[in-house]
Homo-oligomer: A and B are copies of this chain.
């Protein structure tokens, strides 16, 4: 990427346009969801449609670039919260943060809602997120903040669920999700109750098995 002797160095206007494009797409996806058109994104970035496709071969690639970034930032938050003393509090804070992101980004909702047919990059980002959240949950479990049979996958899934619960109220009560997080987190607390009906899946393995090269990073 750096200045190799001579020859191919990415042009200045190209990187500028790429930045404009990413910003515009981030906003457009957040406001309108995944169904926003490439034309609209191009307009908002102030470039022509062809330019969008020069930087991102398909719409899916563009969406994946933005969603991956969003998911990774959420992973970082989870990572930071691993160092908190009160693991229960940390877990709840993480959930609040995640739900807040969902409430602010329609495309994010769309993406986590539909598990199948997803860009490999996004699946990997979700995997990374699950890894960290698993640790976060394990700590809360060990501290007795949540019941023993709650896993990180439960938590990640609940993010989308709690947001969905509050979504119809989002216009008039932007913070209504706090109510449902409170309710749900209360249900997660450790108590001497019988085991939950269904065990959670070991991992949130999304989509097809044709993707053999999944564990390159981790």
Contacts and interface: CB of A to CB of B under 8 A. Distances in A.
Interface of A: 112-113, 115-116, 150, 154, 157-158, 160-169, 171-173, 175-176, 178-180, 182-188, 191, 193, 196-201, 204, 206
A160 B169 contact: no
Nearest to A174: B198
Contacts of A167: 113, 115, 160
A191 B189 CA distance: 13
Contacts of A115: 167-168, 171
Chain B CB within 10 A, most for which of A160, A191, A197, A201: A197
A196 B183 contact: yes
Interface majority SS (helix, strand, loop, mixed), chain A = helix
Please state the number of chain copies in the assembly: 2
Contacts of A187: 182-188
A169 B204 CA distance: 8
Nearest to A168: B115
Given A173-B201, A204-B168, A179 B161 contact: no
A157 B161 contact: no
